A and B are shown apart, each in its own frame.
Chain A
Amino acid sequence: MAIRARVVFMDWSSRLGLMVFLSVLAALALAPYWAGRQDLRLLAEIYAYVALASAWNLLAGYAGLVSVGQHAYVGLGGYLLFSLTMFAAIPPLWAVPLVGVLAAAISIPVATLVFRLRGHYFAIGTWVVAEVFRLIAAQVSVLGGGSGTSLPAGIVISIAATRETREFLVYWTALALAVLVLGLIVALLRSRYGLALTAIRDNEIAALSSGVGVRRVKVVVYVTTAFCTAMVGAVIFLQKLRISPDAAFSINDWTAFVIFITVIGGVGRIEGPIAGTVIFFLLRQLFADLGSLYLLMLGAVAIVIMLKAPRGVWGLVADRFGLQIFPLQRRVAEKIGPAGRTS
């Protein structure tokens, strides 16, 4: 008799959590049948932020690549969507995954450049990249240059004939995309890359000497994030139907909010961005009238959380009750059984 160890991911809280998550998801998928037009728009916006914040969380929280330039890929996604539909006549909804692939391809050379900058300087380097993208977009006159352009009516109608169906389709695309991004991140973290990332986070040098290809893992994460972020950008501007460099590459909308959401919810946990987005939208519904004071308040809240509760709101709750909705944590389950058979 020998002790065999088995790695398990699920525990009671993730079994329960996933059931709740799936029920909520089912209800949200049926939202076009029970929610109003305004509610659908708001929900789609929430999904976009869940996806953006989850992607940023993967980058900064898991791979330690603190980027303040993710608006580069939101804007790139939006502009790629407009270009593909307007100049290559690709149906808008089919263009979304294509946008992701193209953005991922573009992010590879970008990664080789910005990865030359270490730590803090990497952050500002990513910002420069976003600026370069914005300035280039403003130079493209067929896409309206600095003042931007609207998606031509013919393309809008090609999504679906009636406005209602169109809005439903875009809504479902936004929901599906958020689920896809979350699923992709969970899959990545449960794979060997997830283990490698944990090793890097705990001690980069030790990970390197244990044979973890640190650089390769980081490039994989960076490219995955670009893939997800650009697709979200594509759906955001598919919903807005209008794009301009300032809106597409807005650091406030697509980076500052996303960072605050993740920090408030909890960096380095998959549930953090979801909790953060819920809190962010509650705060916005309550205080958005304050305008710039609202942003100021959000900045202050993020600083206080970073200093006083660096694990965020979800971290506080989860650690207290040992919760995890998404089965990511590896636990060793011991099992006594006959030796010699490996599973």
Chain B
Amino acid sequence: MTEWINVIVQGVLIGGLYAMFAAGLSLIFGIMRLVNIAHGDLIVLAAYIALVTATTLGLNPIVALVIVVPVMAALGYVLQRFLLNRTLGDDLLSPLLVTFGLSVIIQNGLLELFTADSRRLQAGAIEVATIPVIQGISIGMLPLLQFTLAVVVIAGMQFVFYRTALGRAFRATSDDPAVAQLMGLDNRHVFALGMALSLAIVAIAGVLLAVRTNFDPAIGPARLIFGFEAVIIGGLGSLWGTLCGGILLGVAQGIGAHIDPGWQMLAGHLAFLLVLAVRPEGLFPKIH
């Protein structure tokens, strides 16, 4: 019994990380109807930037966030402003193919620079620290920190989206880009800010991923898929729904892995397909 509770608790905690993969993805989809296929590879890129900063400056990876987050945000702004904005429009093909090309470029660029070896970020004592809850169940400090950060990030996004001028600009361009422009918003700038915010979250997700597991240049696409599944399970347009989606995905993978290690990924995908089959609008769709 405690074994299963443990599986579920660990699944919930990793769900926070998946929700963070998903948050950046659903943010830009919400603002500019763009699905960034390179999203997962950007998470891995952030992990490598953290690796370089942490090793060259001798920083703790968590502290390295101070550098990685602004770097990724700046990259996001530039990427959107000078490349991705050109692809927006009625045509579906162009943004998908450009971000797909970007994904291949990032993967192979990282492969060229860092080889295919697995890397890991060392975060020190926090990695092994645990809090015993009851007999047989203990929660690792690191997963707990990740989950808390995920909740904070989502709450922060909720705040930005609904309580600030920037959020109003995001919602306005999302609702009607033409009218937003008439009201004096520069859509290209707003979109670029959206991507900057998305990649700032990607940076946090990337560092947390790198501290938690081994990573190599090829793991990006799977992270994109996890994020995407969390978005669809949770329901489009709902940030707290996305968190629930991430948790469900994490729990499904945990249960799968507990039955047979080969079933970990498959169980997650099957949970996603099941939701798609019986409730395609997601479990917690935003009510308009």
Contacts and interface: CB of A to CB of B under 8 A. Distances in A.
Nearest to A132: B269
Contact of A128 (B87, B91, B95, B229): B229
B269 to A, nearest CB: 5
B101 A66 contact: no
B139 interface: no
B131 to A, nearest CB: 34
Contacts of A302: 97, 101
Given A128-B272, A256-B100, A299 B94 contact: no
B269 A135 contact: yes
Interface in B223-276: 224-225, 228-229, 232, 262-263, 265-266, 269-270, 272-273, 276
B269 A307 contact: no
Interface in B274-288: 276-277, 280
Contacts of A47: none
Contacts of A125: 276
B97 A259 contact: yes
Interface residues of B, number: 45
B78 interface: no
A169 interface: no
A292 B106 CA distance: 11
Nearest to A257: B104
Contacts of A260: 101
A293 B112 contact: yes
Given A132-B269, A292-B108, A293-B108, A120 B225 contact: no
A263 interface: yes
B69 to A, nearest CB: 25
B97 to A, nearest CB: 5
A299 B104 contact: yes
Contacts of A146: 262
Interface stretch (B1-9, B11-19, B27-35, B151-159): B27-35
Given A116-B280, A299-B105, A131 B265 contact: yes
B86 interface: yes
A300 interface: yes
A8 interface: no
A117 interface: yes
Given A66-B96, A124-B225, A295 B262 contact: no
B270 A127 contact: no
Given A113-B276, A303-B98, A306-B98, A128 B105 contact: no
Contacts of B270: 132
Nearest to A263: B97
A131 B105 contact: no
B93 interface: yes
A342 B43 CA distance: 64
Interface string A242-272: 0000000001100010011001000100000
Nearest to B272: A128
Given A66-B96, A303-B101, 19 more contacts: A64-B92, A113-B276, A117-B280, A120-B95, A123-B35, A124-B35, A127-B225, A128-B269, A132-B266, A132-B270, A136-B266, A139-B262, A251-B221, A259-B97, A292-B111, A298-B104, A302-B101, A303-B97, A303-B102
